Chains A and B, each alone.
Chain A
Amino acid sequence: MTFNLPPGLALQKVDERIMTLNVGPQHPGSGHMRIIVQIDGDYIVACDPDPGYVHRGEEKMAEYRNYITNIPHLERPVIHDSCNVLYPYVLGAEELLGIEVPERAKYVRVIASELNRCIYIMYWLAIYGIFLGHSTMFMWPAGDRELLIDLMEKMTGARVTHAHFVPGGVRNDLPPNFEDVCLRQVNYFEKRIKEYAAIFYDNPILIARTRDTGVLSRQDAIRYGTTGSVLRASGVDYDLRVKEPYDVYDELDVHTNVMKEGDSYARSKIPWLDMLESCNIIRQALQKMPKSGSVRVKLKPNPKTKGLESVYKRVESGRGSLGCYIVSDGKVEPYRVKLSVPSFRNLIALPNLLKGEKLGNMPSVYWSLNYWPVEADR
């Protein structure tokens, strides 16, 4: 070895037994990211997740648009969870602009947010199924997701990227007869997802594959700063809808699902339980919602904030706590918008979870972290 390396770099000494695999970004088991895995036979000795493949500069783009035109592009990081990814931004912008939201709009937001959480989790579950080689579990959630997508289409006019939440409420009122349709679809949806237990969650092969793999202890889960289903699967009772209720979540009865195992199976089951809980929340919200009233406060064109101030708001998204930090300097555009995303927080646990695992466990552990690469890269 005589060639000169640039200062600060050193060649890594790798045993001849060790094979380095580049899993992704063009790989059916990685999503839009790369995981550099070093394997010794069938065992993973080191794992280095390498996000950043789909970085689009959403936060920088937000500095050139005003508070309203920021809405459509800020939901792009997670288009199938678009209401929840906009939620903290909208809450923050409302506080900065000093807007009081009508009561009915708050309920509509809760319904849209919970529907969108289910839509996201169904998509996640479909991919979790196909990662484990279970093609029925890919097709069923992908098909049943359509029920809720149709509801969102009735509600917002768009199937995926809704851009429905605006500072001051929601964009449009609910269509006539929406409550009945919503109740019917959600009840059927709940009946359908309960059937998944028989084919997927109680499947002996699935349990044998995912039990005791990638165990994340309670201490580690808190130490790494993981959020959402990953944290709750490790036995931490933490849900922002209960701990820091926003909008009207304090008036609703929200139950937090917690499992103590902290393994891949628990992390895959918590989102499913969350969907059942979401159905309950939607039913409650439909019951308590004011039957009529305004859903949007009219804003002036190009609304301005008062002066140099900042606000941090966070909500419970499909993947965990999603925060948005907005700094304003009194202009029509925000000075800085920073998204603190749950995907990136959950990814931190991956190298430690995969070390010592078998290669066959890589997809199940990786996807059980509830990670969405596009959101982490933003």
Chain B
Amino acid sequence: MSVIAPKFKLSEFIKSLLDNIFWIILIVVLVGLPAIMMILFVIEMPVIDGELLTPFLAFTWMADPTRILPVVHAFMATDIFRVMAFPGFGFAALLAAATIFVERKMLAKLQLRVGPFYCGKFEGILQLMGDGLKLISKEIIIPAKADKPIFWAAPVLFVAAAASFVAFIPVAPGWVVADVELGLLGVFAVIGFFPIITILSAWSANSKFPFIGGIRALFQMVSFEIPLILSLLGVVMLTGSLNLSEIAASQSVFPWIVFLPVGAIVFFITMLAELERIPFDLPEAESEIVAGWLTELSGMMYGLVQLGTYLKLYAFAGLFVVLFLGGWNGPMVVPPFPAELLTGVEMGPVTIGPFPGLPLFDQEMLNGTLWFVLKTAGVIFFILLPRGVFPRIRVDMLLNLGWSKLIGLAFVNIFIALGLLYAGVLGPGGLQ
């Protein structure tokens, strides 16, 4: 370890720690607290338990942390929390970041190398942060003859479309950003945006390789959208609903993959193609067309497209889980929460506690989220795996696969679903 810290001295280490603590305390006291005080006086305070939350009451959480719980509850019930944090963007971005890390490490193990190793001491866990910082600090170069507004807008639109796709995915019962009746149609509508954004970006770069890549992406996405939609019709027929939450709730006994394995396979293959992953990464085939439609993107514009790609990957994996693997359904493994974590402690004149358990989340939601994340991780693993095993296929093979074989299989799946309905195995009076 002498290589990493050649002149390590414990005294200097402790000194630097104390320095940091000193500056943190100083900044919090001189800047943070006055800022909080000012904000608390300016904004309108919520009424909790029939009591106006004054700055004084807000600060009493320092003496009794349980007093903050109503505020957090109120915040968690807002739409902004759902969009920004839990079932929405923050959760998805976290899973996407984990996906990138797992992909790099898994591929490295497959190929007999170590992968990211040095950044962040433990197995290169901060490599992604380093890459992000690098992309942010890089200069953004725009081709001279590019159509600048569209070229700028395309990566942002790409992330926006991917994030709106994430909004449809229900993570736990009642935990979904957009709980719309026609959720599946909404998903198809959002998927339909990606080829348009891709071709806009490729065309506006005004360069040959992005143009070819954009046309390839258009071919690929449009020709695979049809089997994608057809492969999901079986599930819609069996559940009689387009609401993704209802589809997930309907699989409490059996996941649909038991009855519709053909549809699941077709959906998985079309998913790989829509995500432009190997073996279907023709739009980014580097040995033929440099980086395809990403060739002219630089700096954080490229980073945004990567972020959008992985958000899209998470969303597709989540859609697969919701439609075929039963969504959040699973055995209850989360233990019931104790009413009190610690009973009250009497310390002289002061009584501390009793501390409540975990009243922020209910048991159902935690269990659902756990199963959803586990299943999604499994699906993501199988999405990542072909990258280490298969070479890239060609455009004509891709179109042949999409237009003839997959559409045929999708119809087979629809007939299986119809057969199950008419035979009375499923549907009214059937198993589910």
Residues in chain A within 8 A of chain B (CB atoms) = 19, 21, 27-29, 42, 129-140, 143, 199, 203, 205-206, 208-209, 358-363
Contact = CB atoms under 8 A, between A and B. Distances in A.
Contacts of B389: 136, 199, 203
Contacts of A21: 208-209
Given A19-B208, A358-B394, A133 B111 contact: no
A15 B111 CA distance: 46
Contacts of A143: 111-113
A360 B390 contact: no
A143 B397 CA distance: 32
5 contacts: A133-B391, A133-B392, A139-B112, A143-B113, A361-B394
Contacts of A363: 287-288
B388 interface: yes
Chain A CB count within 10 A is highest, among B107, B287, B394, for B287
B119 interface: no
Interface stretch (B127-135, B258-266, B276-284): B276-284
A135 B287 contact: no
Contact of B288 (A136, A208, A209, A362): A362
Contact of B396 (A133, A136, A358): A358
B242 interface: no
B113 A139 contact: yes
A135 B394 contact: no
Contacts of A209: 391-394, 397
Interface string B393-404: 111110000000
A203 B391 CA distance: 8
A139 B113 CA distance: 8
B246 to A, nearest CB: 38
B340 interface: no
B290 interface: yes
A360 B391 contact: no
A140 B111 contact: yes
A135 B111 contact: yes
Chain A CB count within 10 A is highest, among B110, B111, B208, for B111
A139 B208 contact: no
A28 B112 contact: no
A133 B285 CA distance: 7
Nearest to B113: A139
A231 to B, nearest CB: 25
Contacts of B286: 28-29, 133
A205 B393 contact: yes
Interface residues of B, number: 29
Given A28-B287, A143-B113, A135 B392 contact: no
Contacts of A359: 212, 288-289
A136 B388 contact: yes
How would you classify the secondary structure of chain B's contact residues: helix, strand, loop or mixed? helix
B382 to A, nearest CB: 17
Contacts of A131: 287
Contacts of B392: 132-134, 209, 360
B279 A133 contact: yes
Given A209-B392, A362-B288, 18 more contacts: A27-B290, A42-B395, A131-B287, A132-B392, A133-B278, A133-B285, A133-B286, A134-B391, A135-B107, A136-B388, A137-B391, A203-B391, A205-B279, A208-B393, A208-B397, A209-B394, A209-B397, A358-B396
B388 A360 contact: no
B391 A28 contact: no
Contacts of B390: 134, 203, 205
Contacts of B282: 360
Chain A CB count within 10 A is highest, among B107, B208, B392, for B392
A21 B287 CA distance: 13
A133 B278 CA distance: 8
Contacts of B396: 42, 358, 360
Contacts of A361: 394
A52 B235 CA distance: 60
B388 A135 contact: yes
B92 to A, nearest CB: 26
Nearest to A20: B208
Contact of A28 (B212, B290, B394, B395): B290
A360 B208 contact: no
Contacts of B212: 359
Interface in B376-395: 387-395
Nearest to B394: A360
B418 to A, nearest CB: 32
A358 B395 contact: yes
Given A28-B286, A29-B287, A358-B395, A135 B387 contact: yes
Contacts of A129: 391
Contacts of A362: 288
B211 to A, nearest CB: 8
The 5 A-B pairs at the shortest CB distance, nearest first, are namely: A133-B392, A29-B287, A139-B111, A363-B287, A134-B391
